[in-house]
Structure 1
Amino acid sequence: MPKQVALSFSGGKDSCLALYYLQKQGVDVKCLLTTVLEDSKETVAHNEKLERVERQAERLDIPVYFIETNFPTYEDDFIWYISDMKQRYGIDGMAFGDIYLQGHREWGEKLAARAGVEPVYPLWSEQAKAAGWLCDFIALGFEAEVIKVDSEKLPQNWAGRKLDQSFVSDIMTYSDVCPMGESGEYHTYVHDGPIFRPD
């Protein structure tokens, strides 16, 4: 297991939960890497404002670096930043919050190999355990809200919902939706939790 890593960080529940378990395992997360679309200046997939991610990083006491990119150069841009973090911080690993999608893992492993670091997946598990991760996230005291919904999978008015036991009960009624939104069914922003210092 690498001792010093960069973490792919969206500001959502998966990356925050991954950070929690990395720190519990004694891994030093030296920096956060967040991909940003060049045209919109918002985070990839989540469409989050950069100031909100910066606010999280401040409360985590971990520096965040924004990778401005577009899809044709996405992989090369990411690799450049990992290599730069090797020089800046001496990282020997690149961590991701993916849970069970094999294609995502293979992509991250290829990325890490090209950058010369070890890939780390602290949440990696069977698909059936996704509901357990969601319950774990809530039980640990994390506070998060839904910021984006795939309206073909979930009601659009779920945007703005808090992740709580009511959310768990409701999402478990959808048999074709991952409770953790692993396929992009919904995205979140984490406001607080055990990894954050008081605001």
Structure 2
Amino acid sequence: MNVAVLFSGGKDSTMAVYAALDAKEDVKYLLSMKSKNDESYMFHVPNIHITDLLSQALDIPLMSVETDGVKEEELKDLRKAFIDLKNLGVEAIYTGALYSVYQKSRIERLGEEVGLKIISPYWHVDELEYMRKIVSLGFKIIICGVAAWGLDESWLGRVIDDETIDELVKLNEKYYVDIAFEGGEAETLAVDGPIFKKRVEILKYKKEWHLDSGVYIIEDAILEDKEL
């Protein structure tokens, strides 16, 4: 089946690409919604500009759509993108939705209106098993935004590994931090993994911290060949 993946570059949308490829789908496009609103209800914002580079790293064409990110209005931009994809022969959209009913229900409604099947392969997954799977598959995921008790500036730029997950389990017990960040506790970015044809090498970045939250912004990055 010809599919596209709603793609932000974060761990969940990258895992959606993995799931589509693993299911032997023909992934025709990555769809990235570039919101001008840092507080978008629907779309991931930190380092969304890197999706162009990630598209090259994955060797999958990118459809990039700008949106003002106004609540509910941004859905009109997504609907138009869905129509464009359908006109290009896409039959289904994969998403990385885990538990957000707000996002999933709206995407499914648009899909039904346009005539596209919506597939969310990790919906209601066991979060701890899911995070362990990401690591065991060999994905390199960095944390590029934090906004929760227990997640201080030292977490920015940190690679998610088994030790990181162990710490998140403890933070979940102490502060109720969601292990997979479904409560908006953190944002992530995938820079390498088994489906990457090339890896992303970050050359320059900056950290911005304000009160109890912060972001890790990539200012320069290149693609590097992967070791065989």
Q: TM-score, normalised by structure 1?
A: 0.89
In terms of mean alpha carbon deviation, does 174-183 or 75-84 score higher? 174-183
User: 1:109 maps to which residue?
Assistant: 108
Gap change, CA 1:80 and 1:135, over 3 Å in 2: same
The 3-state SS of whatever aligns with 1:26 is: coil
| Residue 171 of structure 1, CA deviation | 0.5
**Distance across 1 between alignment mates of 2:192 and 2:151:** 25
Gap change, CA 1:39 and 1:103, over 3 Å in 2: closer
The answer to whether the 8 Å contact 2:9/2:48 transfers is: no
Where does structure 1 lack aligned partners over 5 or more consecutive residues?
A: none
1:41-56 paired onto structure 2 within 5 Å: 44-50=43-49, 52-56=50-54
User: 1:30 maps to which residue?
Assistant: 28
User: 1:21 maps to which residue?
Assistant: 19
The answer to whether the 8 Å contact 1:6/1:82 transfers is: no
**Structure with the greater relative contact order (CA < 8 A, sep ≥ 6): 1 or 2?**
1
Counterpart code for 2:67: T
**Distance across 2 between alignment mates of 1:38 and 1:161:** 26
**Distance across 1 between alignment mates of 2:102 and 2:75:** 14
| Residue 97 of structure 1, CA deviation | 0.2
Where does structure 2 lack aligned partners over 5 or more consecutive residues?
A: 199-224
How many residue pairs are counted as aligned between the two chains? 191
The answer to whether the 8 Å contact 1:153/1:185 transfers is: no
| Residue 142 of structure 1, CA deviation | 0.4
1:160-171 paired onto structure 2 within 5 Å: 160-171=157-168
More strand by share: 2
Runs of 4+ in 1 over 4 A off after TM superposition: none
More helix by share: 1
Q: TM-score, normalised by structure 2?
A: 0.78
Gap change, CA 1:74 and 1:152, over 3 Å in 2: farther
Q: Which has the larger radius of gyration?
A: 2
Gap change, CA 1:38 and 1:100, over 3 Å in 2: closer
**Distance across 2 between alignment mates of 1:119 and 1:104:** 12
2:129 is the counterpart of 1:132: yes
